[in-house]
Amino acid sequence: MVDIRKTCFVVIDTVRARLVRRRPEDGSYITVETLSPSTDDRPSRLERDQPPARVHESLGATRHGIELQLNIRARAQAAFAKEMFTRLKGLLQDGTFETFVLVAPTRMMGVLLEGMDPALEPALIGQLPKNLTKVPDHKLLDHLSTLSLKTIPRLTSHGASIP
């Protein structure tokens, strides 16, 4: 059985994240911490000021410039996911939380699962593909009540699992 009091609900989108936990007294949700990306997603000066690459025309001596293709949003999302996982890993290591649930829009969920540290995979007990970052704490119960959580066997001090 999962101890819901030691579960962190990571409610994240591309520009903000909330670490939410459940109150043991009444079962409501409360935001413990709010995160935002520390990097600027605009292209750097070097990326903007480079002249375009040139290619030869198939006939004749003319050359054409190729537009620089930058996927700035994908890089920013991956960097933000890495920041969030670093913070979450610290909270899991110092015992603040034992397990976590990812709540993110479908596109961001793919970025999160792709960039997740393999050491965090055993602590992941659920996923919900929804954007709930702007939903207030008192309304999270309506959205998260349908979530089914994976049970993780707890270990005794001798290493045996408890069902």
pLDDT at 64: 73
56 within some domain: no
CB 161 within 8 A of CB 153: yes
60 within some domain: no
The alpha helices in the chain, defined as continuous H runs, are 45-49, 72-93, 106-115, 140-144
pLDDT at 49: 55
Number of folded domains in the chain? 1
Least confident of 45-49, 89-93, 113-117: 45-49
Band the pLDDT of 154: cuts 50, 70, 90: very low
User: Does position 162 have pLDDT exceeding 70, yes or no?
Assistant: no
Q: Residue 13: which CATH number?
A: 3.30.420.60
130 within some domain: yes
Positive or negative, the CA dihedral 92, 97, 100, 105 is: negative
Could you tell me which residue, 5 or 152, shows the higher pLDDT? 5
Band the pLDDT of 30: cuts 50, 70, 90: very high
61 within some domain: no
As a whole number, mean pLDDT of residues 74-86 equals 89
Q: What is this structure's pTM?
A: 0.73
57 within some domain: no
Least confident of 2-11, 18-27, 154-163: 154-163
